[in-house]
Amino acid sequence: ELKGSKSPLIGVIIPSFRLPFFADLIQSMQMHVPEHIDLVFMGATDENLEKSIYALVDRGVDALIFGRPIPKHAAVSQFLNKCGIPFLSLDQSVDLGAKDRVMVQEKQGGHLSAEHLVALGHKKIALLMADTMTDNMHQRERGFVETLTQHHLKPVARLQTALSKHGGLDVADAVIASGATAVFALNDEIAIGLIRGLYNQGVRVPADISVVGYDDTDYAEFTVPALTTVRQPVQQIGIAALNLIIKRLENLNRPQQMNMLDLQLIERESTGPAP
């Protein structure tokens, strides 16, 4: 017989279960959560976000972790503060005004990608962005463009597409038409779809076009060619978020904490010298 549990319940709200980055994040939290804590995961769109928050609060959640942006964050944070429910922001929810945050050096991620491509001799570099850009992705973009500028370069094209493999596939023709010899895609999903799209058109990666992704999800080392990408410390993000929110539950008045984590470029097969 199941009995009601008195364990603290932490709700984690993410934008989508389909993005492997968030699947990895969930996995990390499930692996590292202490036994006395319960977790509940919820995927929310802009439209049902507020409803999801109310539903979790209604069912007695003790704290929330947001991995997605909160459109009306002032109202949301007022509501949560009134209910005495602490919340932490990570990844896409950088602008939330939460008590605690876990962040990565997103600008540095864009910088690492640009330096890598410039060092390989690329001058015509395209940027593949999401059609809905969140703050963290804008920081990647900024780091990338600033580094190109330092090398007296600018992107030959900035293309926006869906944040998915299909998004990358759909934009392959536009990438080819741009004349780019290298591409930085703002996440692995777009990069992987692009590699397939280029292959379909007989374009060789990296001999004709080099591709860099972002995230280092578990697909990255299995694509042909294996994907060069900026690795997110997804295990540490999960661990840091749990640590901070648990400490917060122990002491609601503790000073605001922020953990800033580093990124790393993982060089595989999808990048090579400029043709």
- Among the residues of 64-220, which ranges form H helices? 73-83, 106-119, 135-150, 165-170, 172-178, 188-200
Q: Cα Rg for the chain, rounded, in angstroms?
A: 20
Of 28, 113, 136, 210, the residue at the interface with ligand RIB (CB under 6 A) is 136
CA distances (Å), origin 17, targets 63, 68, 166, 201, 247: 20, 12, 16, 30, 27
User: For residues 211-240, which are near ligand RIB according to CB under 6 A?
Assistant: 214-215
Total number of residues that touch ligand RIB (CB under 6 A):
10
User: For residues 41-100, which are near ligand RIB according to CB under 6 A?
Assistant: 91-92
263 and 236 Cβ atoms separated by less than 8 Å:
no
Of 147, 189, 220, 245, the residue at the interface with ligand RIB (CB under 6 A) is 189
CB of 181 vs ligand RIB, minimal distance in Å: 24
Phi, psi of 89 (to 5 degrees): -115, 145
Site for ligand RIB contains 161 (CB under 6 A)? no
Residue with Cβ nearer ligand RIB (205 or 230): 230
CA distances (Å), origin 235, targets 22, 23, 52, 272: 11, 11, 26, 29
Of 113, 187, 270, 271, the residue at the interface with ligand RIB (CB under 6 A) is 187
Query: Mask: binding to ligand RIB, 94-133, rule CB under 6 A, as x and -?
Result: ----------------------------------------
C-alpha angle 122/125/131, rounded to 5°? 160
Encoded tokens for 203? 């374009």
Site for ligand RIB contains 24 (CB under 6 A)? no
Residues forming contacts to ligand RIB in the complex (CB under 6 A) are 19, 21, 91-92, 134, 136, 187, 189, 214-215
